Amino acid sequence: MSRIGKLPIELPKDVTFDAKGETIRVKGPKGQLEIANNRLVNIEIANNVVAFERVDDSRPARAAHGLIRALCANMVTGVSKGFERKLEINGVGYRAEVKGKQIVMQLGFSHPIEYDLPQGIDAKVDKNIITLSGIDKELLGHTAAKVRSFRPPEPYKGKGVKYVEEHIQRKVGKAGAA
């Protein structure tokens, strides 16, 4: 039995969970999310608690059991509280600003980088910290990775865009440099 899959999800009072048919829909105060339902996992809703049970003990059913439960838990958290990801910009002259649904970044190139934010993702810039927020955890992570990919941190001076909680392993420069 999957340790993740057997854990029930308690629904907050303002969240509705619907698992009928081909899709699983979760609606809450921050919005609505949906994913495709997996026929290898049965979903039971009773007393604001969602339980997940796999159909048989086959390998695909065991794999889907924990996955579907984790995706549903992320959707419930997203529509009730939302998710947030912070990125830090390090480097002389490196900066960012938000213009509507676009992030404009100066990252040491000869041109500014303009990135259009996907629908459902909001951005805020405070000095050198970019805060991305949204209800879809997967889309938020993908967006944060894309912004980081424009100038990943380099190991010598640590210049670039990194996650706030990320630690950059520093390298020593040339032996002859003083």
Could you tell me which residues come within 8 angstroms of residue 17 by beta carbon, excluding any fewer than 6 positions away?
11, 24, 25, 26, 45, 50, 72, 76
Give the residues across from 50 on adjacent strands: 9, 45
What are 142-162's pLDDT values in tens digits? 999 999 999 999 999 999 999
pLDDT reported for residue 105: 96
- In this predicted model, what pLDDT tens digit does every residue of 34-87 receive, in sequence order? 999 999 999 999 999 999 999 999 999 999 999 999 999 999 999 999 999 999
d(CA 96, CA 115): 11
The Cα–Cα gap between 168 and 151 comes to 14
Q: 140 and 83 in contact (C-beta within 8 Å)?
A: yes
pLDDT category, 178, cuts 50, 70, 90? low
Residue 29 CA to residue 7 CA, distance in Å, equals 24
pLDDT on residue 148? 97
**How far apart, in whole angstroms, are the C-alpha atoms of residue 156 and residue 153?**
9
In the chain, what are the domains? 9-80 (3.90.930.12), 83-163 (3.90.930.12)
Per-residue confidence band for 20, with pLDDT thresholds at 50, 70 and 90: confident
Spatial CB neighbours of 166, under 8 Å, sequence gap ≥ 6: 153
pTM (whole model) above 0.85:
yes
The pLDDT tens digits for 97-133 are 999 999 999 999 999 999 999 999 999 999 999 999 9
**Element (H or E) spanning 125, and its range?**
strand 121-126
pLDDT at 177: 58
Q: Which residues, in sequence order, are CB contacts of 29 under 8 Å at separation 6+?
A: 14, 79, 80
Q: What's the pLDDT at 176?
A: 64
Supply the pLDDT for residue 50.
Answer: 95
pLDDT, residue 175, reads: 78
Instruction: Round to whole Å and give the CA distance between 72 and 93.
Output: 42
